[in-house]
Structure 1
C-alpha cells in the first residue's frame, strides 16, 4: 500500500509539473518571511514527494493535520527538524527543509 501511495504521489508531481500554471516561470522564487525568497517549484515538488501523503495535496490535511496559514517559517522548520504528534523528525533536511518551510509558511 505504501508503494502504491508513493507511486501516486510521484505521478502527481510529474503530471502537475508538466502541466504548469502558465503564470510563473519554472523555478521562480516566491516571497518568504522577512523578504527572503524560496524556490516555489522545488518546494512544491519536495512537499508532494515527502509531505502530501499526510498533510494532503493542498495542505488540507489527510492522516496528518492541515497546514493552515499563520505558521512562521521557524515553526514549520522546527516541526520538520524535531517531528511530533506522530510526524517523524528530519523527513527532509538542509536547504530542502529550509525551502519547504518558507513555502509552507507563505501559504
Structure 2
C-alpha cells in the first residue's frame, strides 16, 4: 500500500514539474510591453519569469534545468536564441517565440 501511494505521489509531482517547464501557452498572445506589443529588454525578465524560471530558477541559478546565470559567457545572443527555438538537452524548443524569444536571448547574452 505504501509503495503505491509513494508511486502516485512521485508520479504526480513529476507531471506537475514537467508541466511547469512549459510556461503559459497563452503568453505569446499577450502584449510583451508598453510599446505596442514589442518585447523589450525590460520585459525580458518578466517573460523569463513566466516561461523559464520554473526550471532555470528565478535567479537563473538552476533547479530542474541548468544554471544559466552566466550563459552569456558561453553563448552569444544568436546561439541562445537558437537554443530557445530548438531546445537543448531536456528542454523542448519553442517555449518562447518571435520578438519575445529575441528579447530574452539578448537579455541572457548579457549575463556574464
Q: Give the TM-score category using the shorter length.
A: 0.5 to 0.7
| Structure 2 counterpart of 1:101 | 105
Equivalences, count: 79
Deviation at 1:39, TM superposition (A): 2.1
SS in 2 for 1:43: helix
Q: Which residue of 1 aligns with 2:66?
A: 65
1: distance between equivalents of 2:76 and 2:66?
A: 16
Give 1:58 shift.
1.0
Gaps of 5+ in 1: 11-25, 28-37
Report the alpha carbon displacement of residue 57 of structure 1 after superposing the two structures with TM. Answer: 0.7
**SS of residue paired to 1:46:** helix
Pairing 1:44–2:45 present: yes
Question: Which residue in the other structure is 1:54 paired with?
Answer: 55
How far off its partner does 1:41 sit? Answer: 2.4
Match of 1:74 in 2: 78
Query: Deviations for 1:1-30, whole angstroms, at most 9, x for unmatched residues?
Result: 639x96xx99xxxxxxxxxxxxxxx97xxx
| CA–CA distance in structure 2, aligned partners of residues 55 and 88 of structure 1 | 13
| The structure with more radius of gyration | 2
Whole-angstrom distance in 1 between the partners of 2:62 and 2:105? 16
Conservation of the 8 A alpha-carbon contact between 2:41 and 2:106: no
Provide the aligned C-alpha RMSD in A: 2.6
Superposition deviation, residue 40 in structure 1: 2.7
